[in-house]
Amino acid sequence: MPPVLSPADHIKAKEFSAFLRHLGFSQCLQQFVEQWRMLVKQQDGSRSMREKKSHKPDRSSVSSTRSRKSSSSSPPPLQVLHSRNRVVTSVGMEDDLWTLTGEDYIAPDFTNGAGTPLEVYKSLQSRGEVHFVPTTPYFKAPPPSNLPLESLNLRVVYESGKTGFEEEKDLAIVADTIVAGRYQMLQYLDSAAFSRAVRCMDLNEDREVCLKVIRNSKDFFDQSIDEIKLLKLINSSGDTEENCVVKMYDFFYYKEHMCIVTELLRDNLYQFSKFNREEETEFYFTLPRLQSIAKQILKGLRFLHSLGLIHCDLKPENVLIKSFSRCEVKIIDFGSSCYLTDNLSSYVQSRCYRAPEVILGCKYDGRIDIWSLGAILAELATGCVLFENSSLPQMLASICSVCGEIPVSLLHEGRNTQHFVTKFGAFYEQREGKELVFHFPIPDTPPETLFGYNDPLYLDFITACLTLDHRRRPTAVELLEHPFLQHDYGSAHSTPPPLKKKVHSEDGASAAASPPTEMDPTSPLPPS
C-alpha cells in the first residue's frame, strides 16, 4: 500500500529541498528529488486505480486530472464568493495545491510576480496549482556575541514593614491616589495590551505627566525592561523635541508593577481622526497638516534608525498629538522596537501597517517603518484603513491592487512565501473544512479614492513609501528631501473646535458633557 501524501507533506518536502539548495548540497538534493518523485508517482498510480474502480467521478479525480501537465481540458471556473475593497475572493478545490510531478513541486516554473488578476488567472488552461518554492530563502543570522555589557538601575518603591504579595493583581486606578509617594492620579487615559495609562500630577516637579502602568505579568515585565532600555538610549542620544519622540522622566517598580513616567501628550491620531469624522467638525487632515505630520514622523524615524533601531509598530495609535493648533506630534511606544543586530522576529507590526517583506518572511530593516508611514497617511486622509486585512493572503492581494505585483526576487527570498502564494501568482488560504480560498487584486482604483488627494507631489510621496521592493524603498533621510515636504501648500485651515465628550440623555438627545471628576477612560484631555 503506497503512502498517502497530504498537502502538509508537500510543504515539508518543499521546505527541506529549499534548505538543501541553500546549503549547496546538490547531490543530496538530487537524491531527495528522485525519491520524492517516486513517492508521488506511486500515489498517482494508486489514485488512478481508485478512479477506474469508481463509476462516479469525485472532486479529487477531477482535480487530479486537471493538474496533469498532459491534460488539455480547461480547469473548472473558480466560484466567486465576494468582491470588496479592491479584492476578489474565490473558492477553489481541495486538491488545488497538489501536483502529480515532483519536478513541478520542487522547482516550479515561476516567471511573473505575485498578484495575478482573476481574469488573467482564469485564462491559464493548465493551472495545476502548486506552492511557490523560494530558491534563496532568507535564514536568520544569530545576533553578535561580543556586545558590551551595560546595567540598569531599577528603583523599587515599597512600604516599609510589609512583605508578601499584593491583595489585588492589578494596581487600582483611583482618583487622587498617590503612587510611589510622588505621582497623584488625576485621570484614566487609555489601555493597551500590556499596560494602562494614567494622567498624573508629579508632586515633586509640579507638572502633569503620563504614568504607564505595566500589567502584572512576567512577559510584560520583561518587555517593559526592553522599552526602558530603549527610552534611556533615546533620551540620552538627542533632543526628544527636535526628534519628535516621547521623553521619559522616570521609571520604577511599585506594588508588583513596573511603572514608566513620560511627558503628557494628547490624543493619538486614531482617536482624533475618529472624533474629527464622527463629530463632523472641520476636516483636520488637510494636505498642509499631512505634510507636517509626515515630516515630524520622518524626523523621529531618522533619529531612531540612526541609532540602529526599528520601531516595528508604527501606527496611528502610536503617534500622539502634542498640540492640535500647531499640528505637533510625537512617536511613542517602543515596547516592540528592536535593534538591527537582533535576531529579527517574523511577527512584528500591527497587521494593517505590516510591510510585505515582513509578511513573506524576508530580511527587513528600518524601511518597514516607512511602509507603515505610507499606510498611516492614506488612512488619515480617507478615514479608512488602506489594505483589506481579514487574513494575510487577502492583505497581500489588497497590497497588489494598490501597489502592483510583488517582485519575484521578494518571493524567492521569503521564508513564508509558500504559505500564501501559488506558482502562478495567486494568493490562497486554507480554511476550515479544507476549503481553499483564493484572493485576487482589483487594480486601477483612482488615486484620490486610495489616498484621499490627487496632488501629484503627495501621490509620489505615498507611492515612494509604499514601494514593494524594500531594497528600493527610500529611507527616512531620503524622504525628508522629497519635494512633497519642501512644497509650500500655504497655511493650514483654522484650528478645530475643542474636543467635547458627548453624553446621551434618556430621550436620546446628546449634549456636551462637563469635565468628569471620576476616572473615566473615555474623557478627553483639554485641547491645546
Mean pLDDT for the chain overall: 79
Q: Are strands 156-157 and 248-254 parallel, antiparallel or unpaired?
A: parallel
Helices within 54-101 (DSSP H only): 59-67
Alpha carbons 214 and 201: distance in angstroms, whole number: 19
Please count the CA atoms within 13 angstroms of the CA of 117 that sit on its side-chain side.
9
pTM listed for this prediction:
0.76
Mean pLDDT of 363-370: 96
Alpha carbons 300 and 15: distance in angstroms, whole number: 39
Bridge partners for 84 per DSSP: 87
User: Which pLDDT tens digit goes with each residue over 179-209?
Assistant: 999 999 999 998 888 899 999 999 999 999 9
DSSP SS3 for 49: helix
Instruction: For residue 59, give the nearest of 30, 31, 96 by alpha carbon.
Output: 96
Alpha carbons 62 and 349: distance in angstroms, whole number: 41
Alpha carbons 317 and 333: distance in angstroms, whole number: 9
Q: Is the pLDDT of residue 58 over 60?
A: no
Q: Is the pLDDT of residue 64 over 70?
A: no
Q: Which of 313, 333, 369, 455 is catalytic?
A: 313
Mean pLDDT of 497-522: 34
pLDDT of residue 81: 60
Cell of 485: 515636504
Alpha carbons 145 and 167: distance in angstroms, whole number: 42
Q: Are strands 207-214 and 257-263 parallel, antiparallel or unpaired?
A: antiparallel
Cell of 263: 511627558
pLDDT of residue 194: 87
Altogether, the residues listed in the chain come to a count of 528
Cell of 318: 502610536
Separation of CA 353 from chain center: 4
**Comparison of pLDDT for 514 and 280, the residue scoring more:** 280
Task: Name 180's Cβ contacts closer than 8 Å, sequence gap at least 6.
Answer: 157, 252, 254, 259
pLDDT of residue 72: 36
pLDDT of residue 417: 87
Q: Is the pLDDT of residue 157 over 70?
A: yes
pLDDT band at 462 (very low <50, low <70, confident <90, very high): very high
User: Which pLDDT tens digit goes with each residue over 412-432?
Assistant: 888 888 888 887 778 888 777
Q: Is the pLDDT of residue 102 over 90?
A: no
Rg (CA), the chain: 27
Cell of 287: 494636505
Instruction: For residue 375, give the nearest of 347, 351, 411, 345 by alpha carbon.
Output: 351
Q: Is the pLDDT of residue 262 over 70?
A: yes
pLDDT of residue 419: 86
User: Which pLDDT tens digit goes with each residue over 289-309?
Assistant: 999 999 999 999 999 999 999
Please name each of the domains of the chain with its CATH number: 1-140+405-438 (no CATH), 170-264+498-512 (3.30.200.20), 279-401+443-486 (1.10.510.10)
- The reply to whether 313 belongs to the active site is yes
Cell of 89: 475572493
Instruction: For residue 357, give the nearest of 322, 396, 383 by alpha carbon.
Output: 396
Instruction: For residue 399, give the nearest of 430, 431, 421, 380 by alpha carbon.
Output: 421
Q: Is the pLDDT of residue 484 over 90?
A: yes
Alpha carbons 368 and 202: distance in angstroms, whole number: 37
